[in-house]
Amino acid sequence: MKKETLEVTRGSGNVFRDLGRKNADVEQFKAILAAEIIKVLDRDGLSVRAAHEANRVAHRLGSLECEFHVRTS
């Protein structure tokens, strides 16, 4: 099998910045926040709807989660 040499480029730690996105820091923050919220919901076995019913705060999480999955897929 032929060996191929690959070039490695170190990223900035913010994929949105590396992709040249205008609001890279905001997008990175939203992605991290959504991931953390999803972790808590998974840990507690809650759906977004159940979390909203419990505290009336998570009503926007559904759109954040969808946006996160769409943008990172």
Distance of CA 17 to the CA centre of its chain: 14
Measured CA distances, 57 to 48, 51, 53, 60 (Å) = 10, 8, 9, 8
Instruction: Record the pTM.
Output: 0.60
CA separation for the pair 65, 67 (Å, rounded)? 5
The torsion angles phi and psi of 27, rounded to 5 degrees, stand at -65, -40
CA separation for the pair 54, 41 (Å, rounded)? 12
Residue-wise pLDDT for 11-70, tens only, equals: 999 999 999 999 999 999 999 998 998 898 899 898 878 877 777 665 555 555 544 444
Residue-wise pLDDT for 60-72, tens only, equals: 555 555 444 444 4
Q: How many residues does the chain have?
A: 73
**pLDDT of res. 60:** 57
**pLDDT of res. 18:** 95
Structural domain spans, the chain? 15-72
